[in-house]
């Protein structure tokens, strides 16, 4: 029950920050953006102390740990794979263009007899 109240307060703080953006309509943009950022920071700080907030923090830590375990491709591998993808796209574009023109010729010239 306490977590729900804290979470509701966090949402209210975020909404207050966004509302501040509109209330400060005539003020400089920097002040309006700071209002939103302050609402997000305050809401995040309150949400941090809830049970779901703590579980989210553990999830983020685990995700960072798993990301560090990934073997990222080298620059050479990335360039090679990008080249293969571009070549495949070009080949597919030519194939689809040829298929389209063949069907157009078959339907309009052979079947319907609409010579251009």
Interacting residues of 46 by C-beta distance below 8 A, sequence separation 6+: 6, 7, 9, 10, 13
pLDDT in tens, 9-53: 889 999 999 998 999 888 899 999 999 999 999 998 998 888 888
Which pLDDT value is given to residue 116? 59
Helix axes 51-69, 2-23, angle to 10 degrees: 80
Q: How far apart are CA 74 and CA 68, in angstroms?
A: 15
pTM above 0.85, yes or no: no
Residue 112 confidence (pLDDT): 85
Q: Which two tokens stand for residue 88?
A: 């495949």
**Cβ contacts of residue 13 below 8 Å, gap of 6+?**
39, 42, 43, 46
């Amino acid at each position: 029950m306490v977590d729900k109240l804290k979470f509701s307060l966090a949402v209210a703080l975020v909404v207050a920050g966004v509302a501040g953006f509109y209330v400060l309509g005539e003020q400089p943009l920097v002040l309006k953006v700071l209002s939103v950022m302050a609402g997000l920071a305050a809401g995040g700080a309150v949400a941090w102390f809830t049970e779901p907030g703590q579980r989210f923090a553990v999830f983020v830590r685990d995700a960072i740990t798993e990301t560090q375990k990934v073997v990222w491709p080298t620059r050479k591998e990335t360039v090679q794979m990008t080249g293969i993808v571009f070549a495949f796209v070009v080949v597919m574009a030519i194939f689809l263009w040829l298929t389209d023109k063949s069907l157009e010729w078959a339907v309009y010239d052979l079947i319907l007899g609409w010579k251009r």
